[in-house]
Amino acid sequence: MIERGLEPDFPLAAQQELAAIVGPAKATENVRDLRDRLWASIDNDNFRDLDQLTVAEPLADGQVRILVAVADAPLPYTILELTELAKHCTDQEDAATKVERRVAKSAAALLLSGKIGQQFDAIVTGAADKGTWVRLLQPPTEGRLTLGFQGLKVGDHVRVKLINTDVQRGFIDFARL
């Protein structure tokens, strides 16, 4: 690592800076005391930045917050800006997931579009006031049971007939036999 500019010993200026520190930094809007977290540092010998740490913090709703600590560098964003950026990233990821799901549903509808009237074995995967959903065993696709859904519950095995597909909207409709 010496050939990449990393000195194995601390330079005198760094030792003097360390000696001048009398205690932890005072908490401010941009400085938080996070010494109670279990931090990890994975350093790459291609980069000289060896003062970056990360930690994953579980949240109450099951999500995870990633914290990054970088020493000796001013924060490029305020906490409010980071919060807004994180929300934007989450919104964009949610939108991408929605598009991926829509494309998969349309692909399944296209796959079955030539099989209108055919019968399939299926399992009920959702039963609620807004609709009953079944998943075919072969090919493994999901659609709405629009006829004969009364009295079914999740996990029931049923025989269904494909009655309609709408590739544009990603809809697959079945009738119970």
What pLDDT does residue 65 have?
86
The backbone region for 153, taken as left when phi is positive above 0, alpha when psi lies in -120 to 50, beta otherwise, is: beta
What pLDDT does residue 12 have?
87
86 in a domain, yes or no?
A: no
Which of 79, 96, 126 lies at the terminal end of a domain, its last residue?
79
The backbone region for 93, taken as left when phi is positive above 0, alpha when psi lies in -120 to 50, beta otherwise, is: alpha
- Residues 23, 67 share a domain: yes
- Residues 114, 49 share a domain: no
Number of domains the chain is built from: 2
Percent of the chain having pLDDT more than 70? 85
- Residues 125, 75 share a domain: no
- Residues 114, 75 share a domain: no
The pair of three-digit structure tokens given for residue 34, joined into one six-digit string = 């996070």
Predicted TM-score of the model (pTM)? 0.54
pLDDT in tens, 144-177: 999 988 889 999 999 999 999 999 999 999 999 9
Sign, Cα dihedral of 83, 85, 89, 92: positive
Respond yes or no on whether the N-terminal peptide bond of residue 76 is cis (omega within 30° of 0).
no
- Residues 120, 73 share a domain: no
* Model confidence band, residue 41 (pLDDT cutoffs 50, 70, 90): low
Res. 84: pLDDT tops 60: yes
Instruction: Report d(CA 75, CA 109) in Å as an integer.
Output: 49
143 in a domain, yes or no?
A: yes
Domain hosting 51: range is 2-79
